A and B are shown apart, each in its own frame.
Chain A
Amino acid sequence: MEESNLDKNPPVNNSSQNNIPQTQQPVEGQVVNNASSSLSKPIWKTDVFIVLAIVVFWPIGLILMWKYASWRKLIKGLVSFFLLLGIIPLILIWGLIFGIKGYQSINNTLNLKVANKSIKYKCEPIDSTWEKCLNSKYKISFEYPLSWNYIDFNNQDEEIGFTPLAKDIRDNIVIYFSIYTIWESEDKARQFVDGFGIGNRQKISISGFYATKEELYYKNKLGKLFVAILDGKKHYQFDAFVSKLKEKGIVMNDEEFKLIFYKMANSFRKE
């Protein structure tokens, strides 16, 4: 049927989809999906354009497909089903992103996780460049750069995070301090902070307390630093994520960052 249609009304230009010869009429029920008969309809009604629309921007493609494509309903249904199936993970991801942010903002309101305000730490400047934070529960203190900002996570680990950035502080924490855990025994605590003999833990002393430190490298770049301090069974820990500096756009070289981190760790005191 198609051939006879094409014989009766030879197209002016086989390759063009935009010309509409006046004499050519598609036969009812005919699957009109060839280049020459596509000359009889506008470009957005041609199967090739519908496929392009589906691929480039599927909502428009789906509308055009159901409206103008003369494909089997099964095919249309399958294409629609699989494209719409793709929405589900998008909705989940969107919900997760905005949901998490929404949860965090509610959490902040309820738990006072506001920048530079702490329930568990009393922080006061000691000089023009450093501020001292005192934890009243464990009676310990340490110092951090006055120009930095902090968030008290207000959790049972007494976790507090520090960042040199002034914006989106919660998302840009690069140094954490926490009460890592209270071990069953001093031996177990020491085994853990020693890394069970694995890795490059260096044994040091901070304010007379047994401590270890380690610098972790990922793909030959400094990734993480930590200092673990033991007070009997109590294990305190400073963690620094060097890899986050670049990620968060913090302009500071590794050596400068290390100096700050180790000064913070070395300032640890039992009050």
Chain B
Amino acid sequence: MKNDNLQGNEKTVVWIANIVNPVLAGFLFYYMWKKTFPNKAKQANKISFIVFGVEIIGYIIYKMATKT
């Protein structure tokens, strides 16, 4: 049976790669899996958007907090 879901170590690696660089990792994972594992591609894409959003919000909060 085709395993079309992120799980276990693979999921962890996808999260780590996206935390380091969500744009590049998201792009690579999505286009790598788009045709053969569309669900995985979507999940990886979702993770990259979540991480990107969190990092942007975190940066805004940090800038507001350190503003003197």
Contacts and interface: CB of A to CB of B under 8 A. Distances in A.
Interface of A: 2-3, 6-7, 14-18, 31, 33-36, 38, 47-49, 51-52, 54-56, 71, 75, 79, 219-221
7 smallest A-B Cβ distances: which pairs? A15-B8, A51-B28, A55-B21, A52-B17, A55-B17, A55-B25, A55-B20
Contacts of B8: 14-16, 35
A17 B10 contact: yes
Given A3-B2, A55-B20, A49 B13 contact: yes
Interface string B2-40: 110001111001101100110011001101110011000
A255 B16 CA distance: 50
Given A49-B13, A52-B16, A52-B17, A2 B2 contact: yes
Given A2-B36, A15-B10, A18-B9, 15 more contacts: A2-B2, A3-B1, A3-B2, A17-B9, A34-B2, A34-B3, A35-B3, A35-B10, A48-B13, A49-B13, A51-B25, A51-B29, A52-B13, A55-B28, A219-B68
A223 B33 CA distance: 54
Q: What range describes how many residues of B lie at the interface?
A: 20 to 34
A37 B32 CA distance: 15
A54 B28 contact: yes
Contacts of A51: 17, 25, 28-29, 32
Contacts of A35: 3, 7-8, 10
Contacts of B32: 33, 47, 51, 71
7 contacts: A16-B9, A47-B32, A49-B13, A51-B29, A52-B13, A56-B20, A221-B68
A237 B10 CA distance: 65
Given A3-B2, A55-B21, A33 B29 contact: no
Given A14-B7, A56-B20, A33 B1 contact: no
A39 B39 CA distance: 20
Nearest to B31: A75
Contacts of A71: 32
